[in-house]
Amino acid sequence: MKATRVLAVARKTLRSLKHDKRTVGFLVFMPLFMIAIFGYTFGGSLEDVSVYVVNLDPGVGNASASEAIVAELAASGVLRVEQVIGPEGDPARSVEQALAEVEAGNAWAAIVFEENFTADVLRSVADAGSVPTGVPGAITIHLDASNPNIAQAIMNEVQLTVQGVIVSEYHLLPPMTVSEVRVYGEDAEFIDFFAPGVMGLAAMMVTFMLSIISFVHERSTGTLDRLLTTPVTEGEIVAGYALALGLVGLIQSIVILVTAVALFQVQIEGSPMLVLLIIFVLGAGNQGLGFLLSSNAKNEFQAVQFMPMILFPSILLAGVFWPIEAVPDLLRPVSYFVPLTYAVEGCRSVMIRGWGLGDVWFQLAVLATFAVVMLLLSTYSLKKRR
């Protein structure tokens, strides 16, 4: 293997990309666009979820636990309390009225405080420390759970608010406490979790795409054949391409890292260099994969058809947006065969946990093995073509 020839191939690959302004734009803006879209979409929390409240609880004397809770709910940004119905009027009709709004799709939930809510709470306070004599205060939530995220958010919000009010106003302490001490990810938000994933995904997508399309093009125009009549070897061509496309993946990762830090204050606890190294190795491997598949495509159009086959398993199974623990048992083994899984795991550990080379060596080794095997197979398939 001669370095000058590897570099010549790498240079020509980068140059032909460079002359194509739209492709350059795509390579730079696609990752920027991806991280921005994902960042703004997933980075935000739920807000202004419409709910109706039916308060059947008249309170005890001046005190009303339900009113205090409703006030808190209305003050938080998550729920928008459209209307509080009751406690005056016929209870059954009040509930019906609120339910009708949920059924009509005007609200996600109707939150009903039962008639004796405050009385039940007060009895619990009096009973504290002895054998309970009554039923606890009850809230019923009629949910439109067609969107699980929203349903979950409503339940969480109501539970947290109820707990808060009961503790602060009625000094009714729960029988135990559970507290959280973060080992890693002290200030981690969801975007910190998926930024490394998006980075790996973007690098993988682009190196694979560029590789398969370039090689289909090289084969169909006869340039690949022509190269092979010169002293350049199959291995040198493959290495030159891997170098060039690995670099493209690197540049994209830098764009993503900078954007993620600037726009979303994503944290990078560990070494950014280590993150880039992981991405480079991933890119080189995908270049080889693209190359291998390119021999099974007759033209660029057929090449593009391989994209979803490679992309979907990666997006869904590699833990980009949800952890691979969330992947069903049946598919989990597939996750371990998707190289992106290791890149995402590695980048995430470096960025959030601040791990070093010694901690992510396994992921790096898997990716390096993938790259070496792909590049060797590519070289072999080229040799066989003679």
Partner 1 sequence: MKNKGGAAGDKPGFEDGEGSVVAEKLRKEFDGLVAVDDLDLSIRRGTLYGMIGPNGSGKTTTIKIMVGRLKPTGGRARVLGEDVPIVERVADIGYMPQEMAIYTELTVSENLQLFGELYSMKPGPRAEREEELLSMVDLRERRHSLVSQLSGGMKHRVSLACSMIHDPEVLFLDEPTVGVDPELRVGFWQHFTDLKARGKTVIITTHYMDEAVRCDVVGMMRQGRLIAEGKPKELMERTSTSNLEDAFMEFSWRDAA
Would you tell me which residues interact with partner 1 (CB under 8 A)? 1-2, 4-5, 7-9, 11-12, 15-16, 19-20, 221-223, 225-233, 386
DSSP 45: P
Rounded least distance, CB 300 to partner 1, Å: 13
Instruction: Determine the Cα–Cα distance for residues 182 and 187; give it in Å rounded to an integer.
Output: 9
Rounded least distance, CB 36 to partner 1, Å: 29
The phi and psi torsions of 188 (rounded to 5 degrees) equal: -65, 135
Rounded least distance, CB 231 to partner 1, Å: 4
Rounded least distance, CB 350 to partner 1, Å: 36
User: Of all helices (H) and strands (E), which one includes residue 55?
Assistant: strand 49-55
> Are 260 and 342 spatial neighbours (Cβ–Cβ below 8 Å)?
no
In angstroms, how far is CA 144 from the centroid of its own chain? 25
Task: Mark out the alpha helices in the chain (DSSP H runs).
Answer: 3-18, 21-43, 65-75, 91-103, 117-127, 148-170, 190-221, 223-227, 234-264, 272-294, 300-304, 306-317, 332-335, 339-348, 361-384
Query: Mind giving me the DSSP string for 142-193?
Result: EE-TTSHHHHHHHHHHHHHHHHHHHHHHH----S-------SS-TT--HHHH
User: Of all helices (H) and strands (E), which one includes residue 50?
Assistant: strand 49-55
Residue closer to partner 1, measured from CB, 159 or 221: 221
Rounded least distance, CB 9 to partner 1, Å: 8
Rounded least distance, CB 222 to partner 1, Å: 4
Residue closer to partner 1, measured from CB, 161 or 233: 233
Cis peptide bond upstream of 231, omega within 30? no
**In sequence order, which residues have a C-beta less than 8 Å from that of residue 21 and are 6 or more positions away?**
none
Work out the burial of residue 7: count CB atoms within 10 Å of its CB; fewer than 13 is exposed, 13-18 middle, 19 or more buried.
middle
Residues in the chain: 386
Written as six digits, the tokens of 276 are 């880039």
Residue closer to partner 1, measured from CB, 20 or 103: 20
Residue closer to partner 1, measured from CB, 4 or 133: 4
Rounded least distance, CB 108 to partner 1, Å: 53
Residue closer to partner 1, measured from CB, 13 or 94: 13
Rounded least distance, CB 220 to partner 1, Å: 9
Rounded least distance, CB 299 to partner 1, Å: 15
> Are 245 and 166 spatial neighbours (Cβ–Cβ below 8 Å)?
no
Residue closer to partner 1, measured from CB, 16 or 106: 16
Residue closer to partner 1, measured from CB, 1 or 326: 1
Residue closer to partner 1, measured from CB, 179 or 230: 230
Residue closer to partner 1, measured from CB, 15 or 93: 15
